[in-house]
Amino acid sequence: MPNPDKPRTDTVLKVGIVGCGAISRNHLEAFAAAEGAEVTVVCDIDPDRARETAAQYGVPEAVGSVAELLATGVDIVSVCTPHPTHEEVVLAAAAAGVHVLCEKPVAVDLASAQRMTEACDAAGVQLGVLFQRRFWPAAQEMKQALTPGHLGEPVLGQCTVLLHRDPTYYSATPWRGTWDSDGGGVLMTQAIHYIDLMVWMMGEPVEVTGRIATFTHDIEVEDTAVATVTFASGALATITATTAADTSLGARVQVTASSGATRAILEYPEGTDGRAVLRAVDGTVTTTPDYPADLVANADLRTINGALIPHHTAQVADFVDAVRQGREPAVTGHDATRSLAVLLAVYESSRTGAPVRLSGEATR
């Protein structure tokens, strides 16, 4: 997609986007802004959708299968298909020696995530996974504050995700809301972003206890969940998540460190930048109002996804640079597997009623 305003490099990496649904716009715009990369082909199993997307964004080619897309000789594949289909696309890209940036969740079960990371490691290609909220300036700053020499080791975390989804969110998209085609509910699709932030800040999770429930939506999977997480350091955290709230109250990640200092970030309304809303350090408390009165709480999904574009852009820029420099991207397939392991353990614990120990393999 030619963009005359962006800086040029000698070689331009060719990018193919697989899946031309709601989130593909974020990838198309993010790669359009990225230095040294250009979307040269889009793919969808619905050929009309692929053609329309190509026409709308000025992409030279539209194809109907991943094999055709890989045959065009791309350097990077961006995966924007429903979660359970991520694996087949990632494995095909790895087999072709192509770097992959995959939407979250990387997969819907651990064996699948591990096959993906192993295939990419063996092929020597980068696997990055979209957790664009890590690129909020407030998240980067909070992560930095929790490193040794600053506030001390994290000891207590709280991850609270209170969202609204209209019933049509589940009914209008056929793959949403079932265990087979969606892999889970609020934990798998929404809370995973904030679980990822918490795990990123707190370290290696080792044990999870949780319960899930479906209160409001007419879906197989959970619309509500609670859990506790124990980390290798001994730190403890809680997760509370729902899409059954009548009014979205956003998502908050709060961490208390061994010094006794507490920091929190809040994303409200959904889709906007997470803001540092609480700093309680050395007896001094700074807060910003949690809930400004004059805003739309339940924005539509297109608005929410649109508001995420700057963060997709930051993560895509990091991924393109990682490929160019031959370094790991900021969020790897292994990181994404670790966050996935936590929420899958909530499902298992809810099923069995027992705590679930996480295997080091998945969570390191």
Ligand X SMILES: NC(=O)c1ccc[n+]([C@@H]2O[C@H](COP(=O)([O-])OP(=O)(O)OC[C@H]3O[C@@H](n4cnc5c(N)ncnc54)[C@H](O)[C@@H]3O)[C@@H](O)[C@H]2O)c1
Q: Give min distance, CB of 201 to ligand X, in A.
A: 19
Does position 218 interact with ligand X (CB under 6 A)? The reply is no
* Contact range with ligand X by CB under 6 A, out of 21-29, 55-63, 153-161, 245-253: 21-29
CB closer to ligand X, 193 vs 279: 193
Q: Are 43 and 50 in contact (CB under 8 A)?
A: yes
Q: Are 179 and 325 in contact (CB under 8 A)?
A: no
CB closer to ligand X, 132 vs 350: 132
Least Cα distance to 106 among 211, 183, 22, 201 occurs for 183
Q: Which residue has the tokens 């899958």?
A: 344
Contacts of 152 (CB under 8 A, 6+ apart): 257, 258, 259, 261
CB closer to ligand X, 59 vs 308: 308
What's the half-sphere exposure (Cβ side, CA atoms, 13 Å) at 154? Answer: 30
Does position 238 interact with ligand X (CB under 6 A)? The reply is no
Q: Are 192 and 343 in contact (CB under 8 A)?
A: yes
Tokens read off for 42: 């889009």
Q: Give min distance, CB of 6 to ligand X, in A.
A: 22
Cα separation, 260 vs 52, whole angstroms: 54
CB closer to ligand X, 75 vs 270: 270
Cα separation, 221 vs 187, whole angstroms: 10
Site for ligand X in 274-313 (CB under 6 A): 305, 308
Site for ligand X in 117-156 (CB under 6 A): 130, 132
Site for ligand X in 36-75 (CB under 6 A): 43-46, 49, 66
Of these, 40, 189, 224, 243, which contacts ligand X (CB under 6 A)?
A: 189
Neighbours of 13 (CB within 10 A): 19
Of these, 6, 35, 152, 173, which contacts ligand X (CB under 6 A)?
A: 173
* Contact range with ligand X by CB under 6 A, out of 5-13, 81-89, 111-119, 325-333: 81-89
Q: How many residues bind ligand X (CB under 6 A)?
A: 25
Q: Give min distance, CB of 79 to ligand X, in A.
A: 8
Q: Give min distance, CB of 132 to ligand X, in A.
A: 6
Helices (H), 136-207: 137-145, 167-171, 179-182, 186, 192-202
CB closer to ligand X, 28 vs 151: 28
Cα separation, 189 vs 340, whole angstroms: 11
How do strand 37-43 and strand 13-18 relate by DSSP bridges? parallel
Site residues (vs ligand X, CB under 6 A) = 18-23, 43-46, 49, 66, 80-83, 85, 103-104, 130, 132, 173, 189, 305, 308
